[in-house]
Amino acid sequence: MTAPLAPSKLGWLRWLLATPPCRILLLGLVFLVMMGMNTDVMTSYAAQPVKAAAHIIALCIAGFAIYIAYSHFIEQRQTSELGVSGLGRELGIGLLVGVGLYTICELALMALGIYRITGLNSWNYMLPAVAMALSSSVFEELLFRGALFLSLERWLGSWIALVVSALVFGLTHLTNPAATLEGALFIAVEAGILLAAAVMLTRRLWLSIGFHLAWNYTQSAIFSGIVSGNAPQQGLIRSTMQGPNWLTGGQFGVESSILALTVCTATGIILLRMAVKRGKIIPPCWQRQASTAASA
């Protein structure tokens, strides 16, 4: 049995693990592994959507627990970004706005005669998307906004963290089936700004989780759309969609359309303006240090 670390060494190690680069690396690796586990679960229980959702919920709980444990034991702080205060309100608003944003895009396509409803399926068709929407929203927000954005923000400030996290988030979608560079860049702008702005405004992850979950679920479970280049699944609405790729998003889905780019980016900019007005923008660490030294 190895001897326990001396207090001084333990303090040095904890400090190192709490630095932004180590935090991003360690939490990022953990959540990437868990996202792989999510994929395995959804593949294994593809014909059993209720079991798939139950397993994904368990993995989501484990993901939250790991994130909170890292904050508590390594960073020695309260996990305010996952605080229960405001959880219901912010998650609820996120869900409603996420549904609304995607529905606006589809209504515009309907008005143009591009998206046509041909019938309705049984409500059971809405079940398979539950696991997908939970997995993508929880783990991608813990990874890209919780681990990446918030770590970079503490180090480089809000604006640099927003740009870097948005680009990383968008470009990782190049690994999806039928991915395109255009689709990845659209996601970087529309979703990267919107989701980071939600965290900047509220200082919590619940609003961004709600946006993410509702968009993906509405897209797949209700409108039977393509989610970020993945193979489309039949949802509640049977439909056809024919039109130019710049309006439909082509094989990547509506995220790669000018409609989503306009609607989601505009919403993100509104949230950013609110965050600025409420003094929620964090400057880079060197500016904070200079300000502290000047006031001392």
Which H or E run contains 238? strand 237-241
Give CA–CA dist 233/223, Å, rounded: 10
Please give the model's pTM, rounded to 2 decimal places.
0.93
Residue pair 147/159 in contact (Cβ under 8 Å)? The answer is no
Amino acid 14: pLDDT: 85
CA atoms within 13 A on the CB side of 188: 18
Amino acid 164: pLDDT: 98
Domain ranges of the chain: 86-285
- Nearest alpha-carbon partner for 53 in 231, 213, 223, 209: 213
Give CA–CA dist 12/73, Å, rounded: 14
Digitized pLDDT (tens) for each residue of the chain, 296 residues in all: 333 344 455 588 888 888 999 999 999 999 999 999 999 999 999 999 999 999 999 999 999 999 999 999 999 999 999 999 889 999 999 999 999 999 999 999 999 999 999 999 999 999 999 999 999 999 999 999 999 999 999 999 999 999 999 999 999 999 888 888 999 999 999 999 999 999 999 999 999 999 999 999 999 999 999 898 887 889 999 999 999 999 999 999 999 999 999 999 999 999 999 999 999 999 998 887 776 666 65
Buried residues in 265-278 as b, exposed as e (16+ CB within 10 A): bebbeebbeebeee
Query: Can you tell me whether residue 129 is helix, strand or coil?
Result: helix
Using alpha carbons only, how large is the chain's radius of gyration in Å? 20
Amino acid 1: pLDDT: 35
- Expressed in percent and rounded to 5, the helix, strand and coil fractions of the chain are 75, 5, 20
Cβ within 8 Å of residue 230, ≥6 positions away: 176, 177, 178, 253
